Amino acid sequence: MNSDLSVERLPLLRVRDLRTSFNTPEGKVTAVNGISFDVNHGETLGLVGESGCGKSVSALSIMRLVPNPPGVIERGEVIFEGTDLLKISEREMQLVRGVGIGMIFQEPMSSLNPVLTIGRQITEPLEVHLGLTGRAAENRATELLEMVGIADSRRRLSDHPHQLSGGQRQRVMIAIALSCEPKLLIADEATTALDVTIQAQILELMKNLTNQLGTALLIITHNLGVVARYADRLNVMYAGKIRESGTAEDVYMRPSHPYTVGLLNSVPRLDRPASERLDPIEGEIPDPSNLPPGCAFHPRCRWSISKCSLEDPVLERIETDQMVACFESKSVARATR
């Protein structure tokens, strides 16, 4: 991989105009429809949206794990450390997956192999990518388990996944994902299935470890609250596109896309009086195989004007670092400040 000094000045990951679609019996579904964003070295980026918005498919596309068929990455660039991941061979891509980018998913039980010991599953990437074998690999695996907070780690190496709790399994997944010290960790709804107190443990752990290792973190979630504490920047997705992006502070405190505003008003919040009635977004999440014309959000939008059903607005910079795809972003911004 390119280790030019100039690479340091580029973002760690640069996604440009990425488009991924699926061929289904109902026709072609464009799950990710031309998204562009950067992840800088060491930063934490949140990718937020509801079901079907394309956030998980974005992550799978970056990792080139979209099942093909039916999925196709139609176009775009995924430039990681100067190399376009969409242009390299599958063999080279495997190296990126192990050493460059680590990934953890929602359900650790389906990512872990039920018939192999925890130890074997941690030592495998160490062997393949770092050439560690035998005692050395085992020692490193023990260290990794300790690092993710599993007590009595040497003994736990011989456990099988079913002997661990949900939180412990997610800790093991983090140990595996970080075993080769990747530059980027992608966490796709990694804490969604966990109890709240365990969710808090895992989030703190991920944040602390990525801080220590200088790893950038891409947190994908439907829960706006989860990323508020950790994300430096935030992308909000709806119907396959990024509709708003900016620093966490800007997006949460000065939301300028009607969808972001609607999402924030939909969640019951501990920082607001309980008696306050929720102000939800009207209507249903659209069927990805049959999206409304123009801006896909317009049928649910309070600010929509006639133009919205004809033309799809592009992401435009409205303030220092905030990008919004909405014709009415100025009035939205005024209303929410």
Judged by the rule CB under 8 A, the positions of this chain that interact with other proteins are: 50-51, 165, 167-168, 195-201, 204, 222-226, 228-229, 231, 248-249, 252-253, 262-271, 274, 277-282, 284-285
Please identify, using beta-carbon distances, which residue of 253 and 310 lies nearer to other proteins.
253
Please identify, using beta-carbon distances, which residue of 225 and 293 lies nearer to other proteins.
225
Which of 309, 278, 313, 228 lies closest to 332 in space, CA to CA?
313
Q: CA 291, CA 307: separation in Å to the nearest integer?
A: 16
3-state helix, strand, coil in the chain (%, to 5): 40, 20, 40
Least spacing, CB of residue 120 vs other proteins, in Å: 23
Task: Tell me the pairing of strands 71-80 and 44-48.
Answer: unpaired
Least spacing, CB of residue 171 vs other proteins, in Å: 10
Please identify, using beta-carbon distances, which residue of 266 and 309 lies nearer to other proteins.
266
Least spacing, CB of residue 236 vs other proteins, in Å: 11
Least spacing, CB of residue 87 vs other proteins, in Å: 36
Please identify, using beta-carbon distances, which residue of 47 and 126 lies nearer to other proteins.
47
Least spacing, CB of residue 207 vs other proteins, in Å: 11
Least spacing, CB of residue 225 vs other proteins, in Å: 3
Residue 76: how many other CB atoms lie within 10 Å: 18
Please identify, using beta-carbon distances, which residue of 181 and 204 lies nearer to other proteins.
204
**Between the CA of residue 301 and those of 65, 128, 159, 267, 282, what are the distances in Å?**
34, 51, 52, 17, 8
Q: Give DSSP secondary structure letters for 85-115.
A: TTTS-HHHHHHIIIIIEEEE-S-HHHHS-TT
3-class DSSP assignment, residue 39: strand
- The DSSP secondary-structure symbol of 70 reads T
CA atoms within 13 A on the CB side of 208: 10
Q: CA 6, CA 129: separation in Å to the nearest integer?
A: 26
Least spacing, CB of residue 218 vs other proteins, in Å: 17
Least spacing, CB of residue 48 vs other proteins, in Å: 9
Say what the alpha-carbon torsion angle 192, 198, 203, 208 is, to the nearest 10 degrees: -160
Least spacing, CB of residue 261 vs other proteins, in Å: 11
Please identify, using beta-carbon distances, which residue of 85 and 295 lies nearer to other proteins.
295
Task: Tell me the pairing of strands 44-48 and 233-238.
Answer: parallel
- The DSSP secondary-structure symbol of 163 reads G
Please identify, using beta-carbon distances, which residue of 16 and 207 lies nearer to other proteins.
207
- Please name the helix (run of DSSP H) or strand (run of DSSP E) that holds residue 179, with its range, or none: none
Q: Give DSSP secondary structure letters for 281-307.
A: PPS-PPPTTSPPSSSTTGGG-TT--GG
Please identify, using beta-carbon distances, which residue of 9 and 277 lies nearer to other proteins.
277
Please identify, using beta-carbon distances, which residue of 13 and 231 lies nearer to other proteins.
231
Q: CA 98, CA 178: separation in Å to the nearest integer?
A: 9
